[in-house]
């Protein structure tokens, strides 16, 4: 077996030297476990937080530990009659080619419903994040303006499309013209702005949002969010999903203080974690799958081929290499 372990705690932007591939014997599943062969691994921005020793909502990875996270695999060997050889499952064994996984940590993946990789994206963690953050906190109404940052990423592109389904005007912010063209031309966003090339993001936003901003779904934080928050409408809602622009900072980020904006507009800003909605996943997944099947929702995946490219794929999240959900394909079904 091969697994990728954390060898150094990154300072600033992580590098390939912070990780190494470790070889070991194939694990033997114990009672209540199955042996899985990994098909896809997920690389996610939140993993950066777990590489640091700072206290957060998920425990830090220990040095020498495999990088845990979402993966899809096929059962090779089972000790549990409920889980059969050949079944496709999603679990949290992370960056390893094979794993012995406890069956009570697994979710079944139906290969008839959609390609199995979607269980890590639109029909998995990132789709659910978009769904609950937008619908529970953002609550977009017909005719309102929704702005989403990180708009061409896994969460962001689903947020924008669900907001369109709810009848909102949607403006995305992403880091390349190619991504923005995709959002407008393929996904039906009303406008999309390139934060890297706009000389004045705030005035570009003012033009793109002539009626102000009712919902701001924040994936990135930093100066992009400062610009959006200056355009809030009365009773605006701001789901705080992620702050990727800050994850590699080595100094605290002292931005403008926004409390006055919130007060003047009686706006609601609320952080959330997708895991807190676990009891409602069973209600959300069929709705997301229904939108996918009816064509109201589209998704993109950025798939790197080969387990040995996992770290590269992870680092690419911070340079914007991906359009849609970043995955690594490890083996064929």
Distance CA 72, CA 326 (A): 14
Tell me which DSSP letter residue 109 carries.
Answer: -
> Is residue 322 within the footprint of ligand NDP (CB under 6 A)?
yes
Which tokens go with 17?
Answer: 């030297």
Would you count residue 245 as binding ligand NDP (CB under 6 A)?
yes
Distance CA 298, CA 187 (A): 7
Does 269 contact ligand NDP by CB under 6 A?
no
Say whether residue 277 binds ligand NDP (CB under 6 A): no
**Residue numbers 132-161 binding ligand NDP by CB under 6 A:** 150, 152-156
Sequence-distant contacts of 20-24: CB under 8 A, at least 24 apart: 21/308, 22/66
- Binding to ligand NDP by residue 220, rule CB under 6 A? yes
- In the set 272, 298, 312, 331, which binds ligand NDP (CB under 6 A)? 272
Largest Cα span, the chain = 61
Q: At 247, phi and psi to the nearest 5?
A: -65, -30
Taking CB under 6 A as the criterion, the residue among 175, 189, 204, 307 binding ligand NDP is 175
Tokens standing for residue 236: 């605006």
Contact region for ligand NDP (CB under 6 A) — 6-14, 19-27, 100-108, 219-227? 219-227
User: Least Å distance between CB 275 and ligand NDP?
Assistant: 7
Q: How far is the CB of 314 from ligand NDP (least distance, A)?
A: 10
Among 162, 241, 267, 269, binds ligand NDP (CB under 6 A): 241
Q: Does 96 bind ligand NDP (CB under 6 A)?
A: no
Tell me: does residue 45 bind ligand NDP (CB under 6 A): yes
**Tokens representing residue 40 in the block:** 């896809």
CA distance 289 to 154: 16
Residue 70 touching ligand NDP (CB under 6 A): no
Q: Angle at Cα 90 formed by Cα 60 and Cα 42, nearest 5°?
A: 55
Considering only CA atoms, which of 101, 31, 48, 36 is closest in space to residue 73? Answer: 36
Binding to ligand NDP (CB under 6 A): which residues in 10-29?
none
Residues in the site for ligand NDP, rule: CB under 6 A? 44-46, 125-126, 129, 150, 152-156, 174-176, 179, 219-220, 224, 241-242, 244-245, 272-274, 317-318, 320, 322, 326
């Amino acid at each position: 077996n091969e697994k990728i372990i954390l060898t150094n705690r990154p300072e600033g932007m992580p590098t390939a030297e912070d990780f190494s591939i470790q070889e070991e014997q194939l694990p033997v599943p114990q009672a209540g476990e199955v042996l899985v062969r990994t098909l896809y691994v997920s690389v996610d921005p939140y993993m950066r937080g777990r590489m640091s020793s700072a206290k957060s909502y998920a425990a830090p990875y220990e040095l020498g530990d495999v990088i845990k996270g979402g993966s899809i695999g096929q059962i090779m060997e089972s000790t549990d009659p409920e889980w059969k050889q050949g079944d496709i499952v999603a679990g949290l064994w992370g960056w390893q080619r094979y794993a012995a996984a406890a069956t009570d940590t697994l979710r079944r993946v139906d290969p008839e419903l959609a390609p199995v990789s979607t269980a890590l994206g639109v029909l998995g963690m990132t789709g659910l994040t978009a769904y609950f953050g937008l619908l529970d906190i953002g609550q977009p109404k017909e005719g309102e303006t929704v702005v989403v940052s990180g708009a061409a990423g896994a969460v962001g592109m689903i947020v924008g499309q669900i907001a369109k389904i709810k009848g909102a005007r949607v403006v995305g912010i992403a880091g390349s013209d190619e991504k923005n063209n995709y959002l407008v031309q393929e996904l039906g966003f009303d406008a999309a702005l390139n934060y890297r090339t706009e000389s004045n993001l705030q005035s570009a936003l003012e033009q793109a949002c002539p009626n102000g901003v009712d919902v701001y779904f924040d994936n990135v934080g930093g100066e992009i969010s400062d610009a959006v928050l200056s355009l809030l409408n009365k009773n605006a809602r701001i789901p705080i999903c992620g702050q990727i622009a800050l994850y590699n900072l080595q100094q605290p980020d002292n931005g403008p203080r926004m409390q006055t904006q919130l007060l003047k507009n009686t706006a609601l800003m609320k952080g959330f974690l997708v895991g807190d909605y676990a009891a409602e996943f069973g209600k959300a997944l069929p709705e997301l799958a229904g939108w996918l099947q009816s064509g109201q929702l589209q998704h993109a995946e950025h798939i790197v081929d080969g387990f040995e490219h996992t770290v590269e794929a992870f680092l690419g999240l911070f340079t914007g290499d991906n359009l849609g959900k970043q995955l690594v394909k490890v083996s064929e079904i």
